[in-house]
Amino acid sequence: MTGTALVTGGSGYIAGFLIGQLIDNGWTVHTTVRRPEREPEVRGWLNVDNDRLKFFAADLEQDAGWAEAVAGCTHVAHVASPFPLGVPKHADELIVPAREGALRALRFARAAGIRRFVLTSSMAAIAYGHGKGRDLYNEADWTNLANPDVMPYPRSKTVAERAARDWVAAEGGDMEFASVNPAAVFGPLLSDDLSTSIELIKQLLEGKVPMCPDVGFGIIDVRDVADLHYRALTAEGIADERFVCSGPFLKFIDVANILKANLGEQARKVPTKKMPDWLLKLLALVRPELKQVAAELGNVRGGDSGHAMARLGWTMRAPEEAILATAHDLIARGIVKV
């Protein structure tokens, strides 16, 4: 099966690998970027058949460019969504572009007669706001927005996915919709433009994290995230499906130990001690960007990816491979000096 697919957010980490996989499998790809002047740069690091790749300028919060981007396509992967490293002053800074961007992409997709629409959601839309009584979540779970402790990013992903599903149910007609819900994404780099998750490995290697807080995340390789998107775009009969995309849940100290065990002297700055909870809470009082980290102390938010494996025949790499691929590329590119 081949066709023409729109992949939004073409300069992003997941989108880049998905674009490569689609083109390698004979697809033509349209992609969006907010700033059209970035096209030569992005083409350079994607390193694909340029005859099969077209760029369009489009923003999540503006209608301009969307009709042109989706014209002639049969499938859409809506990957673009804001994901900052810090905490915004107001949750709407993330919620509004995430929700409105998804709805805008859906409206233009329906108008263009798109057959299949795959939304990049997140484990953040599944596993938050439930307290510490659980440690494994699946597709039936939703982040509890009634819990005031849910931070802006998981709130934005939950609102956006729910809004998208409600819109499809009411307005989508015969367009098939599915979501892919990744955990923290690591793996090889396409460029020096780092995603938020990659920044975590960078900070560990640079010694900017003096001790490891009692915080963790599910680990998944970007190549496997792209592959699950590809399967969701191309499999038969996946209307209304939702796919958890997560490997094992690892704490900071587990990631640090993997780096230490495999990188030798290159990991000499990586911390080996656990940070006391009280110290992180104290630091969060003076460094607002740490509030989101402190809110996760002691939580385990594992994702059960069994449905994606059974339904789509999907498999994933070991977390060590994803973590070390990130570290090796950060060092090889000179982004981290060791």
DSSP string spanning 219-254?
Answer: EEEHHHHHHHHHHHHHSSS-TTEEEEE---EEEHHH
Choose which CATH entry (3.30.300.30, 3.30.70.380, 3.40.1080.10, 3.40.50.720) describes domain 4-191+221-247+302-316.
Answer: 3.40.50.720
Specify which residues 313 forms β-bridges with. Answer: none
Catalytic residue among 89, 132, 157, 281: 157
Residues in the chain: 338
Task: Write the pLDDT tens digit of every residue in 110-138.
Answer: 999 999 999 999 999 999 999 888 899 99
274 belongs to the catalytic site:
no
Across 40-58, average pLDDT:
94
Give the chain's largest Cα–Cα span: 58
Could you say which DSSP state residue 276 is in? Answer: P
Q: What is the per-residue pLDDT for 89?
A: 65
Residue 239 and residue 203: Cα distance in Å, rounded?
A: 40
pTM of this prediction exceeds 0.75: yes
Residue 243 and residue 99: Cα distance in Å, rounded?
A: 19
Task: Write the pLDDT tens digit of every residue in 78-112.
Answer: 998 766 555 656 778 888 889 999 999 999 999 99
Q: Where are the domains of the chain?
A: 4-191+221-247+302-316
Specify which residues 310 forms β-bridges with. Answer: none
Question: Lowest-confidence range among 146-150, 209-213, 289-293, 319-323?
Answer: 289-293
Average pLDDT, the chain: 94
Top-confidence residue, 22 or 149: 22
Q: Give percent of the chain above pLDDT 70.
A: 98
